[in-house]
Structure 1
Amino acid sequence: MRNIVILISGSGSNMAAIVRAAELGHWAERLNAQVAAVLSNRADAQGLALAHDHGIPTQVLDHKAFASREDFDAALKAEIDRYAPALVVLAGFMRILSPAFVAHYAGRLLNVHPSLLPAFPGLNTHQRAIDAGCRFAGATVHQVTVDLDHGPILAQAVVPVLPGDTPDNLAARVLSQEHLIYPQAVAHFLAQLPMRSKRG
């Protein structure tokens, strides 16, 4: 069974979308894959309760308990590796990951970003799109590399920027598309893994 480990920091709405897709899409039978664990750097992350309700093991590692980013990432890596993951999925995990962590999971670390990359990497994407006068915004699923929000793009969804939009309004429309494209991209990525393993 290919294990998926999901990292969250808050509500876990993208995690929930992936969990639902895995259940409704019968990933265990169709893709030989399962969400094996949900990890968070915050004990108050609401998504932990949802994962627990679905019978998914959860773990909290408080980043504030570690002396450095590298120490936290090393502990996080050790916890993730207990599940021998085929895929590590960032779903609202509000931490910048160290190069060593990213390198360890190279080729099997995914993220969703609330813009049409390569436009607006980093934070405040919705305000920046509005300020730039963009007619369209959206979301991007991509592989994670050491260059922030610059990894290979796996999927994108486009939403219009409407007259009078606020960052919150735009964010809500973009998030609804994230919930659609992220599970699809994860499933497609998993479906390609056997082919990748034969090549490498």
Structure 2
Amino acid sequence: MKDTFTHQGKRKQLVKTLEAKGIKDALVLKAISKIPRHLFMDSGFVDHAYVDKAFPIAADQTISQPYTVARQTELLEVKRGDTILEIGTGSGYQTAVLLEMGAKVYSIERQNELFKRTKLFLPKIGYRPKKFIFGDGYKGWPTEAPFNGIIVTAGAPFVPEPLLKQLAIGAKLVIPVGDEVQIMTVFTRKSPSDFDKETFGEFRFVPLLEDKN
């Protein structure tokens, strides 16, 4: 699990690519410049770790395109010390970005294979979420709410009502909504009953899985 000067150089190039695509948040770019993305990927894709593309991981899931990770995180407007709920841990790369930015991360993963793998992997490279569970992301995490932000890293056919209810006043839910193609959508809680809604273009995600039991 090495992080070489070559890897570090490729990360600098990746950051330049993200800046050219419009990412402006300095904390997001700094986190991406530090995190060894190649360690989150299967060996067959390691040589492409710093290309701005999504790649397959276990359980028919993907590690998101760096631009997508950066854009979602930028929209979340994370501040150091914020309590963030992440729906869909996946490889743990997005988790690491949030942790690198100083957030306290509560993360939920629906795929048991991924949950077991990522739970062991993240601490090995120095990233420790506040709490990490295997569960149904549609339900959120009511016992730990309210959150300063919620980020959903899979395509949701609809916006789960529990997630909106678990936002603190002033907090944002960043969620890709849609079936085959998703619209990046941001809800900002203005009061106990009022939310602002904004949209930020089309993206493609693997589907958000719901517990059918």
TM-score by length of 1: 0.40
Q: Which has the higher helix share?
A: 1
- Kindly indicate whether structure 1 or structure 2 has the higher relative contact order, using CA contacts under 8 Å at least 6 residues apart: 1
